[in-house]
A = this chain, B = another copy of it.
């Protein structure tokens, strides 16, 4: 089940499933900067919560969880956001089904969907998404730039996930913009410049959630965003209603007021 963006985003469906399950597992490593912890969840549901690490799920194939199922227990696997949007536990779901167990999914609000909703851009106009990653060994991936180019050619919006390092540190909107500008400097195809309209989103669902829009160079300089997790949207062609929606978040105070 998805626990949603933050603890206040838990649904009645998730709460009921957690309370009626024999064993509750929690996985938080796929969303390192979330507000959740086993303690918080235990307090909420009044029963013990077993933490699952990346090793448990990826290296050991979720064996602990599958063994509980084989013992005939009802098992809840709680993940931040949504279980299958940008956090994939598909292999575990498939394994459980193959072993003859019934699997029910309780959807949760994911950052991906919250970002689309918050932006005010029309959801059907989003094209392919991609992650902007930090350089590895000095090499910068041009893949996000290519995805952006393809979407723009079709007038579509692009939602970018931002890289998260092993230690949990998340890329900022400013860093993401800088990386895309760096690729533009090499490729020079006019896909992403300092004048490109962008929407930066920070800490969606949290009390300090913030969204800002404007020219890439202005948003990059904007110091008003709280810390990660951040996301970046580069709109394609804008319907006038979408223009209005994006404008309320403008770094330019005059534009906000108009």
The answer on a CB contact under 8 Å between A117 and B83 is yes
In the complex, A220 has a CB within 8 A of chain B: no
The answer on a CB contact under 8 Å between B128 and A244 is no
By a CB distance below 8 angstroms, the chain B residues around A116 are: 84-85
Min C-beta distance of A176 to chain B, whole Å: 16
- Contact pattern, A 1-37, Cβ under 8 Å of B = 1, otherwise 0: 0101111111111001000000000000000000000
The answer on a CB contact under 8 Å between A109 and B112 is no
Which secondary structure dominates chain A's binding surface? mixed
In the complex, A222 has a CB within 8 A of chain B: no
In the docked arrangement, what's the CA distance between A195 and B13, Å? Answer: 37
- Contact pattern, A 118-162, Cβ under 8 Å of B = 1, otherwise 0: 101011111111110000000000000000001000101000010
Min C-beta distance of A41 to chain B, whole Å: 13
Most buried by B among A120, A124, A161, A248: A124
Contact residues of A with B, CB < 8 Å? Answer: 2, 4-13, 16, 82-86, 88, 90-91, 93-94, 97, 105, 107-110, 112-114, 116-118, 120, 122-131, 150, 154, 156, 161, 204-205, 241, 244-245, 248
Most buried by B among A91, A107, A112, A116: A107
In the docked arrangement, what's the CA distance between A108 and B93, Å? Answer: 24
In the docked arrangement, what's the CA distance between A109 and B81, Å? Answer: 10
Give the nearest-CB partner of A157 in chain B: B128
Min C-beta distance of A69 to chain B, whole Å: 16
By a CB distance below 8 angstroms, the chain B residues around A204 are: 107
By a CB distance below 8 angstroms, the chain B residues around A109 are: 2, 11, 82, 107-109, 113
